[in-house]
Amino acid sequence: MFERVKSIWRVTAVRLSVAYTLAFGLMAIFLVLYMTGGAVDYLRQQYQETINEEVASLEKIYRERGLNSVIRTMEARATAPGANLYVISDPNGQILAGNVRTIETGVLRSEGWVLHPFEYQPFQVENDERNHRAVARAFILPNGMRILIGRDIGEPERFRDVVRRALTLSMLMMLAVGFLIWFFVGRRALKRIDSVSRSTERILAGDRSERLPVMGSNDEFDRLSRRMNAMLDRITVLDSGLKSVSDSIAHDLKTPLTRIRNKADGVLRADADDTEQVVALGEIIEEADQLIKVFNALLMISRVEAGSQVAELTPIDISALIADIAELYEPLAEEEGFAFTVKTEPDLMVQGNRELLSQAVSNLIDNALKYADGGEHNGKQIELRLYREKGSIVVAVSDKGPGIPPQDYERAKERFSRLDESRTKPGSGLGLALVDAIAKLHSGQLEMSDAQPGLLVRILLPALEK
C-alpha cells in the first residue's frame, strides 16, 4: 500500500492538486481568521463606545444631581433587558449595588479601562453555571466609592467560537474530500500511465503495430497519446519507405554495376584492339555517370527534406525563371519532335531557392519528354504554364501521353518508384520524389491529375506579394 501511495505521489498532477489544496486551505484559514478577528474587534470597539457614552451620561447626572441620583439611575438601568454591567462598591471592593453578584478579584481595585476580559456572575440569573466575561471601565469617586460600567462580551465570543467550529468542520470536510479526489484521480492517472508504459514496452520489444491507448476523454493523456501515435505512424511509414528504398537500391544498382563489371571483364579477357577498348571504357564511364546521378539525386532529396543550407529561400521572380527554363528546353523538345507550348503570367514572385525550383520544373519536363508520346491520335505535345490561383502560384506541366492511373499518383512520388514495370525507359525513379521534396520545402505541394488525355502535374507554391 505504501509503495502504491508513493507511486501516486510521483504523478505531477497529484502533487499539483495537493499543492493547490494546501494553498487554498491556508488562504481560506487566513481570510476567515482575518474577517472574524476584524468583526470581534469591531464589536469590542462598539462596546467601548457604548461604555464611554454611558459613563459620560452618569458623569453629567453626578454633576447636576449628585451621587444619589447616579445610584438610582444605575439601579434603574441595571434591570433593563440587555443592560450594561453596573457595579457600585465601597472603597474595599464590597459590592453595594448593581446587577453583578460576584466579579473577578482585583477588577474593582483598578481604575480606568479593564480591556482584558474578566469573569463575573450576573445578579439576576439563578443557578447559572456559565462563565460570563466582560470588559469595563472603572473610576473612583471623591468619597472613595468605586463605580464600574461594563459590557458582556459573550456575543462576540460565541460568534468567534461558532466561526472556529465551522472553520474546523469545513477544513476537515475539505481535506477529506480533497483526499478522496486526490486518491481517485491519482489512481486513474496512475492506471493511464501504467497502460502507456505497457504499450511502450511492447513497442520497444518490437511490436510496431502497438499504439498508446486513447480513452476518448480528450484530456492531456489522450492528446499526448494521439500525438505519440501519429509519430509512431510516421515512423512506421518511414521504416517502410526505408525498406522499399533499400530494396530498390539493391535492385536498381545491381544491374548497372553488373554491366560495368561484365564490360570491364570482357575488355580484360578479350583480345580487343584499342578502338574496342575505348568504346568499352566509354560505356563503363556512361554507366558510372548514371550511378553518380542516382546518388546525387538521393543526396539532394535528403538535403532538401532536412532543410539543409543548400536550400536558403529568397524572393525570386518565378516568371523570369520559367522563361529561362522554357528557352532551354524548346530546342530539345523540337529535336525530340514535341510541340512545346509555354504560357506564363508576368511578374509573379515566390519565396524560394532558384536552383531547386529550376531542378523541380526541369524534372517534370524531362519526364514529359520521356513518357508523353501520345501516338498517332494525340501526338507529342507538352504545355508549360505559370499562373496565379487564389493565394498560390502554380507551375503546371501537361502532356498528351498515356498518363498515370489515379491510384498510382502517391506511389509515383516515392523514391525509386518505376511505374514502367519493364523498366525499358531510362531513369531511376527519383524525379518526382525530388520534385515533391522541393515543393514541401517551399511550403507547397505537388499534385497530379488526369489531363484527358495525358498527365497534368502541378507545383503549388505560396504567392509572395511585391
Domain spans of the chain, in order of start: 15-158, 220-305, 310-464
Q: What is the pLDDT of residue 270?
A: 60
Q: Which residues pair with 450 in a beta bridge?
A: 455
Q: How far is CA 82 from the centre of its chain?
A: 63
Considering only CA atoms, which of 407, 440, 453 is closest in space to residue 417? 407
Residues (pLDDT < 50) of the chain are: 309, 422
Rounded to whole angstroms, the Cα distance separating 99 from 112 reads 20
Given this chain, do its domains 15-158 and 310-464 carry the same CATH topology? no
* Beta-strand relationship, 381-389 and 339-344: parallel
Q: What is the pLDDT of residue 250?
A: 65
Locate 159 and state its grid cell.
Answer: 460568534
Q: What is the pLDDT of residue 317?
A: 92
Q: What is the pLDDT of residue 58?
A: 84
Rounded to whole angstroms, the Cα distance separating 457 from 157 reads 89
Cβ atoms of 142 and 51 within 8 Å: the answer is no
Q: What is the pLDDT of residue 127?
A: 59
Side chain identity at residue 169, one-letter code: L
Q: What is the pLDDT of residue 245?
A: 63
pLDDT in tens, 255-307: 677 877 877 777 776 666 667 777 777 878 877 877 777 777 667 766 666 66
Question: Who's near 189: CB < 8 A, 6+ residues apart?
Answer: 8, 11, 13, 14, 221
Q: What is the pLDDT of residue 422?
A: 46
Q: What is the DSSP letter of 90?
A: -
Q: Which residues pair with 380 in a beta bridge?
A: 373
Rounded to whole angstroms, the Cα distance separating 257 from 249 reads 11
Cβ atoms of 47 and 153 within 8 Å: the answer is yes
Architecture of domain 310-464: 2-Layer Sandwich (3.30)
Per DSSP, the three-state class of 462 is strand
Burial of 229 (0-12, 13-18, 19+ CB in 10 A): middle
Cβ atoms of 83 and 77 within 8 Å: the answer is yes
Q: What is the pLDDT of residue 164?
A: 73
Rounded to whole angstroms, the Cα distance separating 244 from 242 reads 5
pLDDT in tens, 149-164: 888 887 767 777 777 7
Which three-class secondary structure string do you get for 430-458? CHHHHHHHHHHHCCCEEEEEECCCCEEEE
Architecture of domain 15-158: 2-Layer Sandwich (3.30)
* Beta-strand relationship, 314-317 and 445-450: unpaired
Question: Who's near 217: CB < 8 A, 6+ residues apart?
Answer: none
Neighbours of 433 (CB within 10 A): 25
Per DSSP, the three-state class of 99 is coil
User: In this structure, is the dihedral angle defined by the CA atoms of residues 269, 271, 273 and 275, taken in order, positive or negative?
Assistant: negative
